[in-house]
Amino acid sequence: MKKFYIFIEYAYLLLAIFLLVEAFRSWSLNPQKSYLYLAFSAAAVFMYFFKKKFRKKIENHDKKN
């Protein structure tokens, strides 16, 4: 199960990279759409760090018990 959580963490990073690429690719065509991509990319990076911290917290709790 821990490997699944690590996979999900890196999936958020891949999503952030994809959204950044899409934002820069569509910047000249539709800047408003690019801002949306950038916002979702920032949210994905935040979720990566949040999930990583939460997973480590759970692992430390499991080691104590």
* pLDDT tens-place string over residues 46-57: 999 999 999 999
Q: Whole-prediction pTM value?
A: 0.86
The C-alpha atoms of residue 46 and residue 53 are separated, in whole angstroms, by: 11
* pLDDT tens-place string over residues 19-35: 999 999 999 999 999 99
Q: 52: exposed, middle or buried (C-beta count within 10 Å: 0-12, 13-18, 19+)?
A: middle
